[in-house]
Amino acid sequence: MKMESSLWLVPLMIALAASWSSTAVVQGQLKNGFYSSSCPKAEAIVRSAVESAFKDDPSIAPGLLRLHFHDCFVQGCDGSVLISGPNAERSAPQNLGIRGFEVIDAAKTQLEASCPGVVSCADILALAARDSVDLVTKIQLLVTQVTYFVMKIIRR
């Protein structure tokens, strides 16, 4: 009985070992200001593309986050979900409802005009997901603050 109750530890240990070894391999990481010397306007260009799309359709924000998730979920954040073709990840059944490709394409077009071949598609996707979450969070914070203010007035 004691042996059976501790059998669950084996898969747990394997999972922990796999996660530790995979995190040790990761070297390059995108951070704020990463492109400040090679493409100084990169983050602003992506932000502008996301803001423009968000103004037209606020529901694009979760679409961009989902797009980033689907890119990173399969084999790491490599931009593979952006590649189109009959056997490409973008054409997979689970990815057919994903939105936001046009936002990434718009940002990529502007970035290529500004600094060709510098910013990777995976990084554009990561920046766009970050900016979309930031836009939604700021709006949610504003709504919360306004609601709080209105509730204070009503309660007086």
| Under 8 Å between Cβ of 91 and 84 | yes
Burial state string for 62-77 with b = 16 or more CB within 10 A and e = fewer than 16: ebbbbbbebbbeeeeb
Model confidence pLDDT, tens digit, residues 77-111: 888 888 888 888 888 888 788 899 999 999 999 99
Tell me which residue range forms the domain holding 98: 32-155
pLDDT score at 52: 97
Annotation: binding site = 71, 74, 76, 78, 80, 89
Average pLDDT, 10 consecutive residues per value, the chain (156 residues): 52 53 50 91 97 95 92 84 86 84 97 97 94 86 68 66
* Domain-located, residue 5: no
* Domain-located, residue 127: yes
* Domain-located, residue 38: yes
The CATH number for 70's domain is 1.10.520.10
* Domain-located, residue 3: no
* Domain-located, residue 99: yes
Residues marked as catalytic: 70
* Domain-located, residue 91: yes
* Domain-located, residue 1: no
pTM of the predicted model over 0.75: no
Annotation: binding site for Ca(2+) = 71, 74, 76, 78, 80, 89
pLDDT score at 6: 52
How many structural domains compose the chain? 1
* Domain-located, residue 65: yes
* Alpha-carbon distance values, 103 to 2, 26, 137 (Å): 56, 28, 19
- Nearest Cα to 130, choosing from 29, 32, 37? 32
Q: How far apart are CA 9 and CA 58, in angstroms?
A: 45
